[in-house]
Amino acid sequence: MTDSAQQWIRYGAAVGFAIVLMAGTVYLADRDERASEPAVASADRPPPAAPPQLATKPTAVLDGADLPSAAETDRVARLLGEARRLAYDGNFTEAKAALDKAEAIIPGSVEIAETRREIAAISTPDAQLAVQIERAKSAIALADRAGAEEALAAAERINPQAPEIAQLRQTLHDDEQKRAERSHRIAGLLMEMRQAIARRDFAAAARALNEAERLDVRDPAIDSARLDLARAQDSQPNSQPKREREQ
């Protein structure tokens, strides 16, 4: 091979090696650049904004501003009591007006809402009838004839055919008859007492008075009879002690 041919071969190999080396350098540079792009983008991206904070009123300030005063609380309590009384008397219009006044003082009160539900529950005819029946029973137990008659009349306006009304009227009649008989018996015993006093038989007078008291110690006639016996005993120097009648 001639010297000229050998030179060309060496020149071609050098050029080829240079091309390969350049291609490798370009490839590595391009890969490094792509690998660094996310980091750069991440570094340049602004951090996410924090969620907005709601403007709230401090708890202490809120509680102090919204709490009712003692006078308002007392006024509302009286109105609620009045509303219940009116409702149980069957006056629902005025009961609602009382509740509205209470609501204007303390809006959104849980107690007022509960009272509204209570009054709404007793506003039905059946509930009102039950209320009046219970009122009549209580009045009869207390010997309150006027109160019993008033409650029974209210019950009749709601349901005149309710069987409880007739039963309670019979109970009222029976109780009055028993009281009349008891009063008659007490009157007879007190008469015996005074007759015994007239005979100066204070022991018999005390026994008659004690028996009358056992029948009904609240009978007003007994109070005056007790005084009569005490005065009669005091007027007799040799009479038996006043407390002997309690034996």
* 136-192 tens-digit pLDDT: 999 999 889 999 999 999 999 999 999 999 999 999 999 989 989 999 999 999 999
Residues 116 and 139 in one domain: no
Question: Do 152 and 103 share a structural domain?
Answer: no
Q: What is the rounded average pLDDT of the residues 10-36?
A: 50
| % the chain with pLDDT above 70 | 69
pLDDT recorded at residue 92: 87
Task: For 137-148, give one letter per residue: b (16+ CB within 10 A) or e.
Answer: bebbeeeeeeeb
Q: Does one domain contain both 101 and 119?
A: yes
Two tokens at 45?
């991206």
What integer pLDDT is reported at residue 65 of this predicted model? 53
- Shared domain check, 235 and 185: yes
The verdict on 119 and 130 lying in the same domain is: no
When mean pLDDT is compared over 42-51, 52-61, 172-181, 235-244, the highest value belongs to 172-181
Number of Cβ atoms within 10 Å of the Cβ of 38:
9
129 and 119 in one domain? no
| pLDDT-based confidence at residue 67 (cuts at 50, 70, 90) | confident
Residue 151 lies in a domain: yes
Please report whether residue 45 resides in a domain.
no
Residue 119, judged by CB atoms within 10 A of its CB (0-12, 13-18, 19+), counts as: buried
- Residue 171 is predicted with a pLDDT of 93
CA distance 195 to 84: 55
Output the pLDDT for position 198: 92
Is the residue at 17 inside a domain?
A: no
What is the average pLDDT across 99-115? Answer: 93
Whole-model pTM: value is 0.49
The model's confidence at residue 43, banded by pLDDT at 50, 70 and 90, is very low
Q: Residue 234 has what pLDDT?
A: 86
Query: Does the residue 147 lie in any domain?
Result: yes
- Does 2 fall in a domain? no
Cite the beta strand spans of 9-166 per DSSP E.
none
For the cut 70, the answer to whether the pLDDT of residue 246 exceeds it is no
pLDDT at residue 123, as a whole number: 86
| Residue 195, pLDDT score | 94
Q: Are residues 147 and 157 in the same domain?
A: yes
Query: Is 96 contained in some domain?
Result: yes
Structure confidence at residue 48 (pLDDT): 54
180 and 237 fall within a common domain: yes
User: Do 134 and 117 reside in the same domain of the chain?
Assistant: no
Average pLDDT rounded to a whole number, residues 207-232: 91
Q: Residue 107 belongs to what domain range?
A: 69-123
- The tally of domains found in the chain comes to 3
Shared domain check, 139 and 195: no
* Predicted pLDDT at 159: 93
180 and 219, same domain (yes or no)? yes
Distance CA 13, CA 237 (A): 166
> What is the percent of the chain where pLDDT is above 90?
48
Judge if 119 and 131 occupy the same domain: no
Report if residue 28 sits inside a domain.
no
pLDDT at 54 over 80: no
Write down the pLDDT at residue 74. Answer: 92
25 located within any domain: no
Q: What is the pLDDT of residue 45?
A: 55
User: Could you give the CA distance from residue 150 to residue 56 in angstroms, rounded to a whole number?
Assistant: 57
